[in-house]
Structure 1
Amino acid sequence: MKFAAIDVGSNAVRLLLSKVDTEGIEPIYEKISQIRMPIRLGDDAFVHGHISDEKVRQLVKTMIAFKHLMDAYEPIDFMACATSAMREAENSEKIVRKIKEESGIDLKVISGRREAKIIYSNRIEKIIANGDPSSYLHVDVGGGSTEIIVFNREKVLAYRSFNIGAIRMLEGFVSKDEWNGMKKWVQSVTKEYKPASAIGSGGNINKVFVMANVKEGTPLSYEELKRVYKFLKGYTLEQRITKLGLRPDRADVIIPASKIYFSVMKWGHIDQMHVPRLGLADGIIHVLYQKHKEKYI
C-alpha cells in the first residue's frame, strides 16, 4: 500500500513517499523517498502577515513538481497539509486556490489542534514504550508553532498548540507573556501526569541528535541537548554554515528551536528525550493508512 504526504511548513515544504507492509501482525511503515524544499513561508507570514508573490511562485512550482513525482509513484492516496505560516497569512485562501488550479493538489490549511492530532497518529509510544503504561510528553517544534502532547499507551491526556516557533523567535515575535503561558501549561500538565520522558520531532531536533553523536535508538539527555545548544551559540551564523556544514535555512533556526526543546524539558523536570525522526508527514501517512486499511486488508 503506497501513500504520499505533503507538509507545507513555515520553514520548508516536504514530500514523503511511503509504503505500508501489511503482511505481518502489525503494519510496517517504510519511507521510500523524502524531498525538502526550503521555501520558508514564515519569513513572509510572520513579518508581513501575507506571503509574497515570489514565495507563492516558488510554492506553486514545488507543488506542481511534487504532483509529477506522486503521479510517477502512483500512491493509492495522498494528503497535503499546511501549518502555521499558511494559517497566519491573510492570502492563504488565494494561494490554496492557485495551487489547486495549477497542480490539482487540494491543500488543507489545518489548525494547530489538528496538527497535533496528526502528529500523535504516529503512535510513537509503540516504538519506545514497549507496553509501558507511563505517560510521555511529545514536543514538535516548527517554524511558526510548537505542538505539545501528553499521552500514554491508551490515549491523549493533554495537548496544546502554541504560536511559538523557531522563525517567530528568530524574528522576535514571541512575547514574554506567550513564552510564560507555554511554561505554565507545561509545568501544570507534567505535574499532573508525570511523563517518564520526552519525545522530540522536527528537523532541528533531528540535527541536534546527530550532532550530539548519540547512538541511534538511545535517548538524548537534557545535558547533551544543552551542550549542543551552547556549542552552536559559540559560532556565528556564517561559521555554522561554513565550518559546521549546516544548511543556511537550518543554521539560523536551530538555536531558537533547541532553546524551545530544552526549555520544555527543564520546565517539566524531564531528563531525556527520544528522537525517533517522525513528524507531521509521517503522521499523515498513518492517517491515510487508517482510512484505507479496512478496504484493502
Structure 2
Amino acid sequence: MLNFILQRSAQAVVVLLLMSVLVFVAVYAIGNPVDILINPQADQTMRDETIARYGLDKSVAQQYLLFLKNALAGDFGTSFVYDSPALGLIFSCLPATLELALVAMLLSICIGVPLGLYAGYRPDGWSAKLIMGGTVLGFSVPAFWMGLMLILVFAVQLGWLPSGGRGETVAWLGAEWSVLTLDGWRHLLLPASSLALFRLALIVRLVRAGVREAIMADYVKFARAKGVSPLRVMLRHVLPNIMVPLVTVLGLELGTMIAFAVVTETIFSWPGTGKLVIDSIRTLDQPVVVAYLLLVVFMFIVINMVVDILYSMLDPRIRLGGRK
C-alpha cells in the first residue's frame, strides 16, 4: 500500500507539472487582461506602471517560471480584480461548492441505488420500466432547463423553497456552512436536486446493469436455492459485488460536480467556485483561473488515488502496488 501511494504521488507531481504548463499557456493566450484592468483613458505612464506591477511586461516563459517558483512556496498569485491571493479566494468559495456537490451525491446514492436494485431484480415489472424511462429523462434534460423548472414549480408556483442564494450559514472549521442550519437546507435542496438528476440516472442504470449480471452468478443462485430472502440476497451477495464499478463512477462524478457545477451555481446564484471562475474568465483574472484549474487537477488525482485504495478494501483480491 505504501509503495502504491509513493508511486501515485510521484506520478501526481509529473501530472501537475505538465498540466501547469498547459493551463498557464492556454489561459494566458486567451486575452490580454491589460485591456480590462486599465482604463482606456489612462496615460501611457499609468499603463506601464500597472503592467509592471502585475508582471505582464515579461514573456510568457518568464511569467511561468516566476509562477512556478511562487507556486512551490504556496503562492499562486494575486487576483487582478480582487487584489487578494487567488488561492484564498478559491478556498473562501470552496465550502459552498463542496456542500452542494456532497448533498447532490448523497441524494443520487440514496435514491439511485435502491431504484437500480429494484429495477435490476424485477426488470419486467411496469414500475421498473417506469424507473428506466425516468433515467432517459434524467440523461436528456439539460441542467439549466431543469434548474429553471424547479425554480418555477417549487419557488414561484408553490412557494415552498427559495429560488436562490445560500441562506443562513454557521461558521465551523473556519468556513461558513449552510448545511448546519434549517434555512440553509431550504436554500440547498433545489440546486442539489438539479445537480443530482444526471448522476441519479447514471447510478440507476449502472446498478441495474450490475444486478442483472450478478444475479445470474452461481453464488446468487445457490443463496436463493437455500431459501435466503430476496432482500438479504441483494444486500449481502449482489450489492457488494457491484460496488467496485459503482465506486469508480461515484468518485469521478463527485469530482466532476465539484469542479464543474457552474451552470447550477449560476442559475441558483450559489456563491461557489464555479461562479467565481466564470466571473474570473469574463474579467480575464488569470491567476484565479490558473489556480482553480490546477486545484481541479490535484483534486482528481486525489480522488483517483482514494478510489484505488477503496478497491482493495471492497475486493481483497485486488492488490495495489504489488505483483500477482
TM-score by length of 1: 0.26
Larger radius of gyration: 2
TM-score by length of 2: 0.24
Bigger fraction of residues in strand: 1
